[in-house]
């Protein structure tokens, strides 16, 4: 571990990521810290065993365990010696032995259309005693898939890291390459990317709220919320040709004048889409029977969120400011005004953050469409060697990409999705809750397994 990394943790900076990059026979560790509106990379060469940063900040644990599993580096004083990437047999994950405690396996195949994850739950009756997650069932190898791919085609790979947030991933990847190439993206393309990411945010927040309504047996409310989400996808399809906005972002801008087509589609549909979304969201957050199930469920303190480095609505629901849109001049419509924060730290607080962010996203969309900056939508990007970072405030929170380019070709792409930063906090949110709270807490996180199985 770099002494500089330890010093930054001691100074209160947020550890955003640790990842490894192997160049030839040398492995280099990157400790990435969020410092205001920028990212600071503290790199160090690694050989043999490395001093773990986990005893200093629990935010490091998953990153170090993954690096150990994937790159063979050993971390001294790492508190959890269990594999993270390899799925372990349930018996080896059980922590408590007692006649009063039974072990329940939940997943990886569950009812409904959900991603693969297994929870090994030790329980005494209805309460959670210990919970061990197993999430790396699908090794898709998407980071490796980038290697050698032409820069023109690589955004298509980024769009498949998490299908529901394709625009966020494509924009973050393109932005990382653009920092290496020193490309000034035209304002028209930046405005289009803003609209795409904000529409994506509205859809994903509606998805989370719709699932919470379904958990609360509000069948009509759930159906209405998912209908509002469907209208957002249809609006995206009308403006981009794809329900998830795929095939639009490219290095240097957008592949066509997507802002013009988005303006045309939004002129016809946005007002009604927004009215529908606002109506169903207001109804849900005013339904006392739903709030009764959310209040107190999955509670996280401000201190827990800070120590684990959580991002997005999970962090903002506990009063932690972390919105990467604040002060970001990359997108055409940076976030202004006070960040949406709630202080209770429970599932209700996270739902209220999403409800408020939906309203703000519609305003940001209107700002970008109304500005309608003239000019080109694509700047030429000459291949240039080097390394670059970029981050985007995706629906689940801060999304970070790292790229290394040699000889004009991608040699390493590393991804820190927001779900990866938030999942380690899911288990600490469970004590004090019962089995029927599980889905409420899970859907209030709105974290994705596909962003872990990348």
- From the number of C-beta atoms within 10 Å of its C-beta (0-12, 13-18, 19+), residue 363 rates as middle
Pairing assessment for the beta strands 253-254 and 249-250 based on DSSP bridges: antiparallel
Assign 330 a pLDDT band (cuts: 50, 70, 90). Answer: low
Choice between 89 and 173, residue whose per-residue pLDDT is larger: 173
State the average pLDDT over residues 266-288. Answer: 97
Q: Which residues of 83-121 are buried (b: 16+ CB within 10 A; e: fewer)?
A: ebeebeebeebeeeeeeeeebeeebbeeeeeebbbbbbb
- Contact present, 425 and 300 (Cβ < 8 Å): yes
Angle at 443 between CA 438 and CA 447, to 5 degrees: 115
State the average pLDDT over residues 393-403. Answer: 96
| Residue that the structure tokens 């040709």 belong to | 241
Please report, in angstroms and rounded to a whole number, the separation of the first and last CA atoms in the chain.
25
For residue 163, is it left (φ>0), alpha (ψ between -120 and 50) or beta? alpha
Q: What is the pLDDT of residue 2?
A: 67
In 3D space, the residue among 396, 221, 227 whose CA is nearest the CA of residue 291 turns out to be: 221
What DSSP state is assigned to residue 233? H
Strand, coil or helix: 454: coil
Range in 182-186, 327-331, 401-405 the model is least confident about = 327-331
Name, in order, each residue with C-beta under 8 angstroms of 219's C-beta and a sequence gap of 6 or more.
none
- Contact present, 243 and 233 (Cβ < 8 Å): yes
Angle at 425 between CA 422 and CA 426, to 5 degrees: 95
246 token code pair = 């795929």
Choice between 256 and 130, residue whose per-residue pLDDT is larger: 256
Pairing assessment for the beta strands 102-106 and 118-124 based on DSSP bridges: antiparallel
Q: In angstroms, rounded to a whole number, what is the distance separating the alpha carbons of residues 408 and 152?
A: 12
| Residue that the structure tokens 């959580």 belong to | 310
Per-residue pLDDT of 106-119, as tens digits, reads 888 877 767 888 88
| Residue that the structure tokens 């988005």 belong to | 262
Per-residue pLDDT of 39-93, as tens digits, reads 888 887 777 778 999 999 999 999 999 999 999 899 998 888 888 888 877 776 6
Residue 198: pLDDT above 90? yes
239 token code pair = 């403006």
Range in 127-131, 440-444, 445-449 the model is least confident about = 127-131
Pairing assessment for the beta strands 49-51 and 74-76 based on DSSP bridges: parallel
Name, in order, each residue with C-beta under 8 angstroms of 114's C-beta and a sequence gap of 6 or more.
none
Assign 331 a pLDDT band (cuts: 50, 70, 90). Answer: low
Q: What is the pTM of this model?
A: 0.95
Half-sphere exposure of 159 (CA within 13 A, CB side): 17
Q: What is the pLDDT of residue 392?
A: 94
Strand, coil or helix: 192: helix
Assign 332 a pLDDT band (cuts: 50, 70, 90). Answer: low
Q: What is the pLDDT of residue 435?
A: 87
| Residue that the structure tokens 């947020």 belong to | 14
Residue 1: pLDDT above 60? no
290 token code pair = 């739903």
Domains of the chain: 3-76 (no CATH), 90-134 (no CATH), 150-445 (1.10.645.10)
State the average pLDDT over residues 22-28. Answer: 89
Q: At what angle do helices 347-371 and 438-445 cross, to 10 degrees?
A: 30
Highest averaged pLDDT of the listed ranges 44-58, 70-84, 305-319, 333-347: 305-319
Phi and psi, residue 383, nearest 5° = -55, 135
Return the HEC string of 257-289. CHHHHHHHHHHHHHHHHHHHHHHHHHHHHCCHH
Residue 12: pLDDT above 80? yes
In 3D space, the residue among 233, 251, 207 whose CA is nearest the CA of residue 446 turns out to be: 207
Q: Mean pLDDT, the chain, as a whole number?
A: 91
> What percent of the chain is predicted at pLDDT more than 70?
95
- Contact present, 324 and 168 (Cβ < 8 Å): no
Residue 139: pLDDT above 90? no
CA distances from 408 to 177, 233, 312, 415 (A): 11, 35, 34, 20
DSSP 300-344: --HHHHHHHT--HHHHHTTT----TTBT--SSSS-B-S-----SS
168 token code pair = 């966020």
Q: In angstroms, rounded to a whole number, what is the distance separating the alpha carbons of residues 204 and 198?
A: 10
């Amino acid at each position: 571990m770099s002494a500089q990394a330890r010093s930054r943790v001691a100074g209160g900076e947020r550890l955003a990521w640790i990842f490894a990059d192997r160049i030839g026979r040398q492995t280099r560790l990157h400790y990435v810290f969020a410092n205001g509106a920028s990212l600071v990379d503290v790199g160090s060469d690694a050989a043999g065993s490395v001093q773990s940063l986990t005893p200093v900040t629990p935010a490091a644990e998953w990153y170090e365990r993954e690096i150990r599993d994937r790159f063979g580096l050993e971390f001294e004083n790492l508190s959890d010696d269990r594999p993270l990437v390899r799925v372990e047999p349930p018996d080896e994950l059980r922590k408590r032995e007692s006649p009063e405690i039974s072990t329940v396996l939940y997943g990886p195949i569950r009812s409904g259309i959900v991603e693969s994850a297994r929870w090994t739950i030790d329980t005494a009756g209805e309460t959670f005693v210990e919970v061990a997650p197993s999430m790396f069932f699908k090794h898709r190898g998407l980071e490796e898939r980038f290697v050698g791919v032409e820069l023109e085609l690589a955004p298509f790979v980024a769009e498949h890291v998490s299908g529901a947030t394709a625009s966020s991933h494509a924009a973050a990847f393109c932005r990382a390459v653009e920092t290496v190439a020193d490309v000034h993206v035209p304002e028209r393309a930046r405005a289009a990317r803003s609209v795409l990411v904000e529409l994506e945010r509205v859809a994903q927040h509606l998805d989370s709220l719709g699932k919470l309504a379904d958990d609360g047996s509000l069948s009509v409310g759930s159906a209405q919320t998912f209908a509002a989400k469907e209208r957002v996808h249809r609006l995206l399809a009308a403006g981009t040709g794809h329900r998830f906005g795929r095939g639009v972002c490219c290095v240097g801008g957008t592949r066509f004048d997507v802002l013009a087509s988005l303006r045309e589609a939004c002129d016809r549909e946005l007002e009604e889409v927004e009215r529908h979304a606002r109506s169903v969201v207001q109804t849900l957050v005013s339904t006392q029977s739903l709030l009764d199930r959310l209040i107190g469920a999955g509670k996280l303190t401000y201190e827990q969120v800070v120590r684990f480095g959580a991002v997005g609505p999970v962090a903002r629901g506990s009063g932690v400011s972390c919105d990467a849109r604040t002060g970001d001049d990359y997108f055409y419509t940076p976030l202004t005004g006070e960040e949406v924060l709630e202080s209770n730290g429970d599932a209700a607080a996270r739902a209220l953050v999403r409800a408020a962010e939906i309203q703000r996203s519609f305003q940001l969309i209107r700002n970008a469409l109304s500005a309608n900056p003239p000019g080109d939508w694509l700047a030429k990007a000459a291949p240039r060697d080097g390394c670059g970072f970029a981050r985007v405030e995706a629906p689940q929170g801060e999304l970070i990409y790292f790229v290394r380019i040699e000889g004009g070709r991608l040699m390493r792409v590393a991804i820190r999705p927001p779900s990866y930063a938030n999942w380690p906090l899911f288990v600490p949110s469970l004590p004090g809750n019962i089995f029927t709270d599980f889905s409420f807490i899970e859907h209030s996180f709105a974290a994705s397994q596909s962003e872990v199985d990348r």
